[in-house]
Amino acid sequence: MPKPWITLYGHVPDTLPITNRTIVDLLIERARVAPTQPAIYYFDTEISWHALVDRIRKLGAGFQDMGIKPGDRVGVMLQNLPAFVVVQFALWWIGAVVVPLNVMYRTQELIHHLGDSECTAVVVLQSLADRFDAVLGATSLQSIVTVDDEEDFAGDRPAFLPEPISVTKGTHSYRDLLSSEPINTMPYQLSPSDVAYLNYTSGTTGVAKGAMTTHGNLLYNASVYGEWLHLGDGDVNVVFAPLFHITGSVSGVAASIYAGIPMALLYRFDAGIALKTIERRRATFTVGAITTYLAMMNHADISRCDLSSLTKAYSGGAPVSPATVERFRSVTGQYIYNVYGLTESTSPATMVPWRNEAPVDPESGALSVGIPVPGLDVKIVSLANRLQEQPFGTAGELALRGPQIVPGYWKRPDETAKAIQEGWFYTGDVAVMDEQGWVYIVDRVKDMIDASGYKVWPREVEDALYLHPAVAEAAVVGVPDPYRGETVKAFVALRADQQATTAEEIRLFVKERLATYKVPTSVEIVSEIPKTVSGKFLRRVLREQEIKNQTDQRPNAPAH
């Protein structure tokens, strides 16, 4: 497709310069030119750029003494604390590959991820270390490094911080490794094509597979955030997204290093802690799932916190309704900018340019997720035939090509060939693109509901639900129906001050705003919508639970 948005938004370059440098090189540069400036805020702890690199060099030496070599894969299962930053850069310093692990993973998931990536070591929080008892014999894992959950913590202890526990069985201590003599050589000579992360994702199909995020992918999209959002002096990045997720890796750590700005870490997202941190550190930038904004907006302290500094508030990972954006602005005075990306696009693929507001698609009611970021080619293809490109304004599958697209999946050539063809990554997302370059995500292909032959996209129904003042969270799924094939069901969580609202009241509210076939046949009020740690709503969990409930209610259903 042509790129008219390049001239519409003159400050948006068509491409960004690609160099042979890596984010490790930029970190060393930050420590050289601004050694005493803060790199990390963590509650009452501050760590300078020089101190950060000093820790990295010491830990790198400790990792080498453990026998970790260039090319080795090492799992990292940590919350957002300074040790995560130190660990991943220490591994890169000696040429190893980081395998981020979700802190919610249990035995089978850990066996799959560590076994598939052939990790030889893992760095894990002490509070989670017992999960690896059953993993050691089932994988090639040889070493475990434990990090105290209170490492680097200073200040008033939040309730969510786990109590200290003692772990000795076959482990190394992060704190002990930091006592190593620092590496006195420059980092291992990494190239942009070398793998930085194996980010495990289900992608568009099947079992979780490791997306090979390269150092070039990482640096390029760090520069997208830095250049497009004019990050620099005066900016502070409050990191909402987990660092084990691609959003946290790029928008949280890499973008901060690229721009030379401090990152404020929170251990994990908590609305009250986030509000206090934004105010205390005068944070200007973040990327968080829309659920983080909903949580802050519904927190009791929201009216007492000054969020005037947060002028670069971006949301990604899940659809954002126009009603939610307006409600947040009315409460805080700040606009939520949309960003869209995937693991395979190394986070941002499209963004709303700073100081611009996203339009709403008149056909679907979807809020635009922005225009393509510099250097990215975008096309919309027919859902029936990927070779058939759709014209502007016509829905189809979104495909992406550019320097931020990963080269493929770890040891899965067949899966790579399905997802990436002639450089184009096929996202599995249904989208529309207008003539000015604004992209609108309609929904996931696999989430489409087929009700009596009518196609219903869940996000359109969710957007209508969010217009109701009582709705705090909403998720819509298709559930089996013997007559219609599928029927629309909505799950909603109510705002704390709106608990008297009924399900039927909400259903009738939506009925006034959507075609009959899109209106939920039932609305279930729940305490909260199930989410991933990164804040995405788990429609799949709701759908599976509903199917199970239907099965259990059938006559002669087997006993459990």
HEC states along 287-303? EECHHHHHHHHCCCCHH
Q: Is the dihedral of CA 312, 313, 317, 318 positive or negative?
A: negative
pLDDT for res 314 = 97
For 157, counting Cβ atoms within 10 Å of its Cβ (0-12 exposed, 13-18 middle, 19+ buried), the class is exposed
DSSP symbol at 557? P
Q: 226 by DSSP, 3-state: which?
A: helix
Structural contact between residues 317 and 342, judged by C-beta atoms closer than 8 angstroms: no
CATH 3.40.50.12780 residue spans of the chain: 1-22+231-241+264-447
- The Cα 160–Cα 164 span in angstroms is 12
Give 452's contacts (C-beta < 8 A, 6+ positions apart).
483, 484, 485, 517
pLDDT for res 335 = 97
Give 184's contacts (C-beta < 8 A, 6+ positions apart).
57
DSSP symbol at 136? G
- Edge-first strand order for the sheet with 371-372 is 45-48, 38-42, 263-265, 237-238, 285-288, 312-315, 336-342, 347-351, 371-372
Q: How does 527-536 read in b/e, with b if 16+ C-beta sit within 10 Å?
A: eebebbbbbb
Give 146's strand partners: 124, 173
Q: How does 325-361 read in b/e, with b if 16+ C-beta sit within 10 Å?
A: bebbeeebebbbbbbbbbbbbbbbbbbbbbebebebb
- CB half-sphere exposure, 520, CA atoms < 13 A: 30
Domain 453-553 has CATH 3.30.300.30: yes
Residue (of 280, 373, 282, 367) closest to 328 by Cα position? 367
Domain 1-22+231-241+264-447 homologous superfamily, CATH? ANL, N-terminal domain (3.40.50.12780)
pLDDT for res 145 = 96
- CB half-sphere exposure, 560, CA atoms < 13 A: 5
- The Cα 257–Cα 228 span in angstroms is 15
CATH 3.30.300.30 residue spans of the chain: 453-553
pLDDT tens track, the chain, 560 positions = 556 555 555 444 565 666 789 999 999 999 999 999 999 999 999 999 999 999 999 999 999 999 999 999 999 999 999 999 999 999 999 999 999 998 988 888 899 899 999 999 999 999 999 889 888 888 889 999 999 999 999 999 999 999 877 765 668 999 999 999 998 888 999 999 999 999 998 644 457 899 999 999 999 999 999 999 999 999 999 999 999 999 999 999 999 999 999 999 999 999 999 999 999 999 999 999 888 998 999 999 999 999 999 999 999 877 788 888 999 999 999 999 999 999 999 999 999 999 999 999 887 778 999 999 998 999 999 988 999 999 999 999 999 999 999 999 999 999 999 999 999 999 988 899 999 999 998 876 677 787 766 667 787 788 889 889 999 999 999 888 766 668 899 999 998 888 888 999 999 999 888 878 889 999 999 999 988 766 677 787 888 888 778 766 665 554 44
pLDDT for res 317 = 75
CA–CA distance from 273 to each of 33, 252, 298 (Å)? 32, 17, 14
Structural contact between residues 286 and 261, judged by C-beta atoms closer than 8 angstroms: no
For 273, counting Cβ atoms within 10 Å of its Cβ (0-12 exposed, 13-18 middle, 19+ buried), the class is middle
Structural contact between residues 433 and 378, judged by C-beta atoms closer than 8 angstroms: yes
Tokens of 414: 């067949």
Residue (of 534, 528, 529) closest to 103 by Cα position? 534
The DSSP-derived string for 358-415 is --B-TTT-PBP-BEEPTT-EEEEE-SS-TTSBPPTT--EEEEEESTTS---BTT-HHH
Stated as kind and residue range, the H or E segment containing 553 is helix 539-553
- The Cα 231–Cα 229 span in angstroms is 5
